[in-house]
Structure 1
C-alpha cells in the first residue's frame, strides 16, 4: 500500500506538470488572453478566429476525475463562436464545466462553479420547426442572449444556466438546477426550473 501511494503521488505530480504545459500551449495557440492558472487534466477548446476569450489570474480547473472526483467526470469545454466573447474573472474555480458562448458569457471574480455545470448563451437550434429542416437556416435562426455571472457566485454541481440569465453577486444556485431567468444578488435558488428559495444572510449555515 505504501509503495502504491508513493508511485501514485509521483505519477500525479508528473501528470499535473504535463497537463499544465499542454493547456498553456492550447491557450496560447488559440490566442486566448490568460494569466496564472492551474489545471488537472486538459480542457477541450474551440475558439473562432474572431472570437474573444480571456482568463484572469488565479484560474483553477479540473478536467476529468483526477482533481475533483465527485462523479460524471469529463473535460472542461470552452467554445467561443464567431464574433462571440467569453470572459472569466479573477480567482475562478470550475470542474468538468461546459461554457458555450455564441454571443457573450461574462463570469466575475471569486466565482465557484461545481462539477458538470453547463452555461449556454444560445438555444443552439431555431425554435421554428421549418428552420430546423436545413442546417444553414437552423443556425441562422437560433436565439442567443448574453449570460452574466456576477462576483462571488456559487453554482452547484450539474446545474444548467441558459441564455439571457444574470446571476447577482453572492447568490447560490443549487445542484442540478435549471436557471432560465435572472437571479437577484444574495439569494439561493434551486430546482427545475430554478425558483427562489431564500435570502442569504451573513454567516449563513451550510445547506448541504
Structure 2
C-alpha cells in the first residue's frame, strides 16, 4: 500500500481499497480482514495480533475454535481457555446507502471502534454525521481523489462494554480468517 499526503488529504496511488485508505488516514495499526460476515453483517475488521499468544497456540497446536458452543464451555471451569490471539481494533462497513453501512457497524460498539466508509466524492450528509455522533462511529470518506475523516468517533468499545463469550467467539472467527487469508501463520499439523 502506498499513498501520498497532500494538504492533510490522503491520496491513493496504488488502487488501494477504501478499508486500507481508512486505516492509513486514521493512523491505526493491525491486520485487515476484508469482507467477513459477523452477526449477519458484511464488514471488514482491523485486528491486533498478540504474537506471544499466537506462538503459544501454535506450540500447543490449538487452532481457532469457531464453534460458539465450544467457546461458551471455556468459561467453566475458569482459566482453561487458550489465550486470545486477536483483539479487535475496528469494525468497518460500507453500503449502497450510508444508512446500510451505519446499521452494519453500530451493532459492534461493544467490540471496538466502528467506522462507516463512504465511497463518494461528496461530503457526508448532516443526518449521517448526527447518527455518527450519537453512536460514536467514525466516518471516513474515500472518494476518487482523496480520503478524509468526516467525523471522529469513539476509540475502542463503549465504556460499559465487558468481554463476553460472544466477544471471544468473534475474536476466534477473526483469528480463523487471519489464518485463512494468510495474514497469520497456521499451526503446524502434527
Q: TM tier, shorter chain? A: under 0.3
**TM-score relative to the length of structure 2:** 0.24
Larger proportion of helix: 2
Larger proportion of strand: 1
